[in-house]
Copies of this chain bind each other. A is one copy, B any other.
């Protein structure tokens, strides 16, 4: 997992530079700005990104690819022509995928189509109505409160036309066809933490993997529009699904909250055990929570029936009971480069690489020994009088090296970090006492079970 030599890939922009360059684009699901952003990102991986295209109307399991949507113009005026809201001032002023509308509407009728943020008075909310076929504008609570006239003029000029939904895929081939998916979505216009932060971290991780030694697993970074992008990709690549051993969704990685690792639908999977125990060793501030209890994203499509890939998610999210969950500026015009930092993006990138390193290393520990090891003889004795905790841990790990437990299984059982187990198993491996295996290989003597 060569983090060291990522310089071999031509470096063009830092994560922060990419964010500054791309964040304000109107990256709606299928849109010109979405495409611009994706092609720009592709440049960062030196031709290694393949772009899948799915035309409007294309069936994707129970879904269909939506039209390309463009907003030419959208504003609200008083009848005497005073312009109050204008999408030219901020892309979020129009509901994403709003249908076109033009006319004089009463104040009352307007308010039904004019969205504000539930608690941020000065923010424009992010509202999308991809499939509801409604029109709408968005503004601040402050502006809405000033609306006292009887009637207003609304102009929303949008077009729905055949287009191509695009999914960017960077494959890092491994020794095995078994794969691990990294997924981030790119379709949140003019916002940063959600969702561009996950995209740039994913890209940096992919760059590091590409630059490193060939891994065991094949890794696959997918950059896509939320939900429909995952469904489009999976439904057109069904043959890959049986080989997907795990995955991680990336999002909200620049703001100032602790890392939250959300488990998959299959909490006993190796992916869950490995990543949750590895987090303990990588970020003591981080926390874990079950499926669907941190935040919902594309991992839902991967975990869903008929797919059932154990995909976790990593994000920086406040605890669920916080009044500003998942973070204060969520889905609003305040989600700007100001709320993220390069340090936090870098820390998240390192965390993800650390999780993947654990994933690579998670194998069955098979004992070449029987009985307890002669620790003094192998120079690995820990004196219980001096370090009782270290002594106990050495033996607790050693006695689970039996070809039936992976490193993650041992760490889960002992409720300790993956890395603490790996440190011991690697020592035992170096001494020739333990070998690693991708398959279970029980060394338990066959014993009659009769009474």
Binding site for B on A (CB under 8 A): 61-64, 130-132, 178, 227, 230-231, 234-235, 238, 241-245, 265, 270, 292, 300-301, 303-308, 362-364, 367, 369-374, 376-378, 381, 392, 395-396, 398-402, 406, 433, 437-439, 443-448, 450-451
Is there an interface contact between B401 and A305, defined as CB atoms closer than 8 Å? yes
Q: Given the complex of chains A and B, what is the CA–CA distance between A156 and B406 in angstroms? A: 48
Is there an interface contact between B307 and A178, defined as CB atoms closer than 8 Å? no
Residues on B with beta carbons closer than 8 Å to the beta carbon of A447? 242-245, 308
Closest chain B residue to A178, Cβ basis: B448
Is there an interface contact between B131 and A376, defined as CB atoms closer than 8 Å? yes
Is there an interface contact between B451 and A306, defined as CB atoms closer than 8 Å? no
A438: which of B308, B363, B450 is its contact (CB, 8 Å)?
B450
A368 to chain B, nearest CB (A): 9
Is there an interface contact between B363 and A304, defined as CB atoms closer than 8 Å? no
Residues on B with beta carbons closer than 8 Å to the beta carbon of A444? 306, 308
A370: which of B130, B132, B306, B437 is its contact (CB, 8 Å)?
B306
Q: Is the interface of A mostly helix, strand, loop or mixed?
A: loop
Q: Given the complex of chains A and B, what is the CA–CA distance between A438 and B363 in angstroms? A: 38
When A265-B399, A305-B402, A450-B439 are in contact, do A371 and B132 touch as well, CB less than 8 Å? no
- 29 CB contacts below 8 A, A to B, read A61-B369, A62-B433, A63-B371, A64-B377, A227-B372, A234-B371, A235-B371, A242-B447, A242-B448, A243-B447, A243-B448, A245-B447, A292-B392, A292-B396, A300-B395, A301-B371, A304-B372, A305-B369, A305-B370, A305-B402, A306-B370, A306-B443, A306-B444, A307-B370, A308-B445, A308-B447, A363-B451, A364-B451, A438-B451
Given contacts A231-B372, A305-B398, 7 further A-B contacts (CB under 8 A): A62-B378, A131-B381, A245-B448, A305-B367, A305-B399, A306-B371, A362-B451
When A62-B378, A369-B305 are in contact, do A446 and B242 touch as well, CB less than 8 Å? yes
Residues on B with beta carbons closer than 8 Å to the beta carbon of A381? 131
Is there an interface contact between A234 and B362, defined as CB atoms closer than 8 Å? no
Determine which residue in A370, A396, A445, A447 has the highest number of CB atoms from chain B within 10 A of its CB, and name it. A370
Residues on B with beta carbons closer than 8 Å to the beta carbon of A367? 305-306
Q: Given the complex of chains A and B, what is the CA–CA distance between A401 and B450 in angstroms? A: 17
Closest chain B residue to A359, Cβ basis: B451
Closest chain B residue to A367, Cβ basis: B305
Q: Given the complex of chains A and B, what is the CA–CA distance between A433 and B433 in angstroms? A: 53
A402 to chain B, nearest CB (A): 4
Q: Given the complex of chains A and B, what is the CA–CA distance between A234 and B236 in angstroms? A: 56
Q: Given the complex of chains A and B, what is the CA–CA distance between A230 and B245 in angstroms? A: 42
Residues on B with beta carbons closer than 8 Å to the beta carbon of A227? 372
A265 to chain B, nearest CB (A): 7
Q: Given the complex of chains A and B, what is the CA–CA distance between A245 and B446 in angstroms? A: 11
Is there an interface contact between B445 and A241, defined as CB atoms closer than 8 Å? yes
A362 to chain B, nearest CB (A): 5
Residues on B with beta carbons closer than 8 Å to the beta carbon of A395? 292, 300
Residues on B with beta carbons closer than 8 Å to the beta carbon of A64? 374, 377
Q: Given the complex of chains A and B, what is the CA–CA distance between A372 and B226 in angstroms? A: 12
Is there an interface contact between A303 and B399, defined as CB atoms closer than 8 Å? yes
A72 to chain B, nearest CB (A): 25
Q: Given the complex of chains A and B, what is the CA–CA distance between A363 and B451 in angstroms? A: 5
A421 to chain B, nearest CB (A): 13
Residues on B with beta carbons closer than 8 Å to the beta carbon of A243? 447-448
Q: Given the complex of chains A and B, what is the CA–CA distance between A165 and B364 in angstroms? A: 36
Is there an interface contact between B373 and A62, defined as CB atoms closer than 8 Å? yes
Residues on B with beta carbons closer than 8 Å to the beta carbon of A362? 451
Residues on B with beta carbons closer than 8 Å to the beta carbon of A230? 371
Q: Given the complex of chains A and B, what is the CA–CA distance between A160 and B447 in angstroms? A: 40
Determine which residue in A399, A433, A438 has the highest number of CB atoms from chain B within 10 A of its CB, and name it. A399
A136 to chain B, nearest CB (A): 13
Closest chain B residue to A385, Cβ basis: B118
Residues on B with beta carbons closer than 8 Å to the beta carbon of A372? 227, 231, 300-301, 304
Q: Given the complex of chains A and B, what is the CA–CA distance between A400 and B265 in angstroms? A: 10
